[in-house]
Amino acid sequence: MAITSRISNINPLGWWRYLVALAYLAFVLAPFFYMGLVALQTDSAAGSGDFLPSQPQWVNFTRIWQTVDLGLYLRNSLVVSTSTGVVASLLALGAAYVVARFKFPFRNVFRISLLATQTVPGILLLLPLFVIYIIIQHSIELRIVGTYWGLVLTYMTFALPFAIWLLSVYVKSLPVELEEQAMVDEANRFQVIRHVTLPLAIPGIVVTFVFSFLLAWNDILFASVLTNPDTKTLGPGLQYYVSDSFSIPYWNLLMAASLVVAVPAMILFLVVQRYIVAGLAAGSLKG
């Protein structure tokens, strides 16, 4: 009786919220559910478009490592993505501190230009960057194309402006009194950034790291042109499952590999989710 009365007292809006949340969850998970079904199909069944596997082929999750060099692509993506996230976050902190704490001519124009770079399609920069890299290679005999650091440098073109903008907003929300107190105690600017600003900006740095990491992790365009077989990353590497190298496209293995390589990004979000929420929330207090 008590349970019935408690249910009857629930606000009808509460049910709608649950229904909307469940509908949104189903919408988000539906692609992964379909990928899982295709991953368990046989080669012929996946190619013919069958929906439900008659006999789940769990062995496909073992075959993905044997059909192509998935381990190499996974390692390369982890190296490039982690390096991009770390370098972009650390470099952005210094630039963001200057933007947030100092007034200089055209500061607002500079901040707007940081966001404007995000509106430029990457394909428009691919050819100019490639030509510049080739010219540099022939001029000073410094190899760029086909190296890890060349790919990281390319991703910094997009990751660094956004990281500077985001961290400048976050640093501006930090209490300046703590920095002033440190300078009263005879600390210089570098010491203030290292011992005061850096520890307080950890949530914001984590946010910029995650965004920079995912930028490199999900890229296909630049990685298809600026890598060689030894530095190939996951984006272009997964395409080999359905390339002309095989007699039939392995759609089932492609889906299985896509599910597996999504795990590192999911783990990253689970580990740093509290920092992401704190960084975005604190950074939104001041503009």
| Residues 241-270 pLDDT 10s | 988 778 888 999 999 999 999 988 888 888
Task: Tell me: pLDDT of 285 over 60.
Answer: no
Instruction: Tell me the pLDDT band of 271, cut-offs 50, 70 and 90.
Output: confident
Which 8-state DSSP code applies to residue 238? G
pLDDT the model gives residue 115: 82
pLDDT the model gives residue 5: 52
Task: Please report where in the chains the tokens 């952005």 appear, as a residue.
Answer: 92
Task: Tell me: pLDDT of 6 over 60.
Answer: no
Task: Tell me: pLDDT of 3 over 70.
Answer: no
Instruction: Tell me the pLDDT band of 278, cut-offs 50, 70 and 90.
Output: low
Instruction: Name the range with the highest mean pLDDT among 27-41, 99-113, 173-187.
Output: 27-41
Backbone angles phi, psi at 285, to 5 degrees: -75, -35
Q: What is the mean pLDDT of residues 191-208?
A: 87
Inter-helix orientation angle 251-283/60-67, to 10°: 90
Q: What is the mean pLDDT of residues 122-145?
A: 89
C-alpha 112/C-alpha 273 separation (Å) is 28
pLDDT the model gives residue 10: 53
Cβ contact 217:81 at 8 Å? yes
Cβ density class 219-254: b for 16+ within 10 Å, e for less? beebbeebbeeebbbbbbbbebbeeeeeeeebbbbb
Which of 33-42, 76-85, 187-196 shows the lowest mean pLDDT across its residues?
A: 187-196
> The CATH number of 69-237+262-283 is which of 1.10.3720.10, 1.10.1060.10, 3.30.950.10, 3.30.540.10?
1.10.3720.10
**Average pLDDT for the chain:** 86
List C-alpha distances in Å: 90 to 41, 74, 252. Answer: 45, 24, 40
Instruction: Tell me the pLDDT band of 52, cut-offs 50, 70 and 90.
Output: confident
